[in-house]
Amino acid sequence: VGSYRDISHESLSLFRLLEPQIEILVLGTGDRVERLHPLMMKQMRQCGIAVEVQDTPNACATFNFLVSERRMVAAGLIPP
């Protein structure tokens, strides 16, 4: 994934396969927050995974905070 435009249902498939299953996926979309396709977000929710989309610096902070709370979280980060 080189940019937020490359994020797809297929590119997120790894996160659906993780064991133990994650409850939250934090996506960092670079320098700014970008909207992802609503169908893709719905498909992740149907798999039991909430998706939080932020700019990458804030996504890193959110990921670290959730880890400190011992939440089952993963991150996909595009460099700013």
| CATH number, domain containing residue 22 | 3.40.1230.10
Question: pLDDT tens digits for 26-68?
Answer: 999 999 999 999 999 999 999 999 999 999 999 999 999 999 9
Per-residue confidence (pLDDT) for residue 34, from 0 to 100: 96
Average pLDDT (65-76) is 98
* pTM for the full predicted model: 0.93
> Within 1-80, where are the H helices?
13-17, 38-46, 56-68
Number of structural domains the chain divides into: 1
HSE-CB at 39 with a 13 A cutoff on CA atoms is 3
Identify the domain containing residue 49 by its residue range: 4-77
